[in-house]
Homo-oligomer: A and B are copies of this chain.
Amino acid sequence: MHAVILAGGVGTRLWPQSRARHPKQFTDLTGSGRSLLQATVDRVAALVPPERIWVVTGQAYRALVQEQLPQLPTSHILVEPCGRNTAPAIGLACIHLERRDPQAVVAILPADHVVADAAGFRTVLARAEEAAHQGYLTTLGVEPDRPHTGYGYIKRRDPPLELDGTPPIYPVEQFLEKPDRSTAEAFLATGGYYWNAGIFVARVDRLLAEMAHQMPELYRRLRAIQQALGTGQAQAVLEEIWPTLPNTSIDYGIMEGARQVAVVPLQAGWNDVGSWDALDTVLEADERGNRTVAGQVLYVESDHNTVRGTERRVIVLVGVEGLVVVDTDDAILVGRKEAMQDVKQVVARLRAQGHTDLL
C-alpha cells in the first residue's frame, strides 16, 4: 500500500498557531513533540514505509515538508502550483503512482488529523486495503459519538461484504451533506451512519477509471500532465494546466457517484482538530478540567480552560472558566471555547485591516 498525504490546507481556525506560512499540519498542535504531518507518517509507518509515502502540498510548503520528513524521497513531494481542492490533488498523486504500478492500492490521508489509537487505526486501514484490492473505493467512517453538524455523513448498507476478518466492511448506501441538528440526532438514533473523515483507500486504476467516467475533463488534463512527466516540459505543462482544473473535492466529484464504494467503521479516537475547542477531546485534563498544551501555566480558581503557552512567558489564569488562551511571539488569542469557530473571522478581520504579517 502507498499513502498519499494531503498537506496543502491552511487551518485558519487554529490561528494564531496556524499561519498561512506555517499552517496547522506543520505545527505540534497537541504538544506531542511531533507535527500533525509527522504524526500522520508515524501512524502508518508500520504499514507504509517512507519510499511508498507521497505528500501533496503547496509550493510555499515544499521546504517545510522536506524539513519535517527528511526520510521521504524528494520526488515524492508533489507540489500543486495553486490550491485546487482534493480531486485534482489526488489525481496528481494517481498519475505519478500509475507509472509505477497501476494496480497499487493507495491510502489518502489528510495531514492534519489526530488519532489517539494508532494501532486501532492501522487495523482499520489494513481492512480497507483488503476491500480496495477487491476494487472497492473504501472510506474510513468514524463512529459518531455525538450529533456533530460539521461533518458529512456516510450511510452504510447492511449486510457487510463477505470479506473475512474484522471490523466488518459495508457497502455504502449514500453520502450525506452536513446535516442540521435534528437530522444528525436522527442519524445517531438510527445507527449505521458514520462521519466522513476524508480518509480513502482505493486502487489507483479504480480511482482513475472513476475520474475518467465522472470527471472526464479533469481526467484528460491529468493525462496531459502525466505525459510530460520525466521530460523537460513537466513543470511547464503542470503550471499551464493546473490552474484550469476544477476546484472540486474528491467526495463531491468522485465518491458520491462512484460504483463499488465501501466503508469500514473507525473507532480510534479520531479528531480533525478543526478548532481550538477540539483539543478537549484530544488532551487529558487535570483535576479541574484544565489542559495545558504547552508552556508554563498557573491556574488560580480556574476550570475547564485550554492553554497553549510558550517557554518564554508564564500564563496565569485567575477565576476564569471555559477559555482558550494561545500565546505566540506576535499574537495572543483569548476566547470562549464555544466561540472558537469565530477565529476564522478574526483572520478575515486581520486581513481586512492589512495585518498580513499576522496571518
* B342 and A301 form a contact (CB under 8 A): yes
Residues of B within 8 A of A342 (CB): 300-301, 318-319
Q: Is A212 interfacial (CB-CB < 8 Å)?
A: no
Residues of B within 8 A of A319 (CB): 335-336, 338-339, 342
Give the Cβ gap from A248 to chain B, nearest Cβ, in Å: 32
Given A316-B346, A342-B301, A346-B316, A334 contacting B331 (CB threshold 8 A): no
**Roughly how many angstroms separate A16 CA and B316 CA in the complex, as a whole number?**
9
> Which chain B residue shows the least CB distance to A358?
B314
Question: A residues touching B (Cβ–Cβ < 8 Å)?
Answer: 16, 298, 300-301, 309, 312-320, 323, 325, 327-336, 338-340, 342-343, 345-346, 349-350, 353, 355, 358
**Roughly how many angstroms separate A317 CA and B320 CA in the complex, as a whole number?**
14
- Summarize A's interface: helix, strand, loop or mixed: mixed
* A332 and B315 form a contact (CB under 8 A): yes
Contact of A333 among B312, B318, B328, B346 (CB under 8 A): B318
Contact of A314 among B301, B331, B343 (CB under 8 A): B331
**Roughly how many angstroms separate A349 CA and B318 CA in the complex, as a whole number?**
12
> Which chain B residue shows the least CB distance to A309?
B332
